[in-house]
Amino acid sequence: MRTYQPVIDNRRVLIFADYEQMTGFAVEKWTALASAAIRHKDCFTVALSGGTTPIGFYQKLSLCNKNVAWDKVHIFLADERFVPFDDEASNYRMIKENLLDRIAIPETSIHPISTRESTSERSAHWYEEHLRDFFKLRRGELPSFDLIMLGIGEDGHIASLFPGTSSVSEKARLAVAVTHEKVSNERISLSLPVINSAKTVIFLVSGTKKAPVVKKILEHNNDNVPAARVRPERGKLYFLVDKDAGQYLSQSLR
């Protein structure tokens, strides 16, 4: 059973009995958002994250061949590791294997972050230019994705924006290169202003290890935690949390 929570501070928090129910709801939400955007403007733009949490969700979503007009969907990445696409650590590889290879989506509608550039910084520039071209942006404008899907690290990082790195406070760039002592690969990430310009942001959070950070974000509003700084200016924000990840939340929230 899923529990509908009151809107906390403009964030809609939903706690589910288990991962299956959480991802089932995420698929319903995705298909509803995609249909509405396609009806309205003939296209649905989404940025997807890596990590292990969304794998089951991508697989479930790939079964929606009938409910989603995949030829109208454009899939971007929220972040990427600076490795070749066939590397074990590549987010594109993971999303391709679990979703893209299983659906009828045109190649031209898939927008991976090029890691063929000579440095992660150049990759970030490449991605930024690609976003500017696709969304037809003028200097200073931000893209507004219909949906950005994010996970949360145990330290509260989102996409590849880690606590204590300058990437979190980036104000002008659309994409940033990130190095962090705790991760082995350099990374490229959408910047926080881009995330906060999305029409909808959905967090998928699962497992006991995430329980402390979920409490910090939702109840302590600790701004040192990047996930707590996700506040879409004109968009909607959903925290889809399974029971284990939500176990430290106050009774009033559960």
Q: Shortest Cβ distance from residue 116 to ligand 6PG (Å)? A: 19
CA dist 201 and 226 (Å) reads 14
The nearer residue to ligand 6PG, 50 or 112, going by C-beta atoms, is 50
Residues that bind ligand 6PG (CB under 6 A): 49-53, 78-79, 91, 151-153, 157-159
Q: Shortest Cβ distance from residue 4 to ligand 6PG (Å)? A: 24
The nearer residue to ligand 6PG, 40 or 209, going by C-beta atoms, is 209
CA dist 236 and 54 (Å) reads 20
CA dist 189 and 211 (Å) reads 24
Q: Shortest Cβ distance from residue 39 to ligand 6PG (Å)? A: 29
CA dist 188 and 180 (Å) reads 11
Q: Shortest Cβ distance from residue 58 to ligand 6PG (Å)? A: 12
Q: Shortest Cβ distance from residue 97 to ligand 6PG (Å)? A: 14
Q: Which residues, 6 or more positions from 39, have their beta carbon under 8 angstroms from its beta carbon?
A: none
The nearer residue to ligand 6PG, 72 or 124, going by C-beta atoms, is 124
CA dist 158 and 195 (Å) reads 10
| SS3 per residue for 110-175 | EECCCCCCCCHHHHHHHHHHHHHHHHCCCCCCCCCCCEEEECCCCCCCECCECCCCHHHHCCCCCE
Q: Which residues, 6 or more positions from 66, have their beta carbon under 8 angstroms from its beta carbon?
A: none
The nearer residue to ligand 6PG, 72 or 167, going by C-beta atoms, is 167
The nearer residue to ligand 6PG, 15 or 94, going by C-beta atoms, is 94
The nearer residue to ligand 6PG, 72 or 214, going by C-beta atoms, is 214
Q: Shortest Cβ distance from residue 152 to ligand 6PG (Å)? A: 6
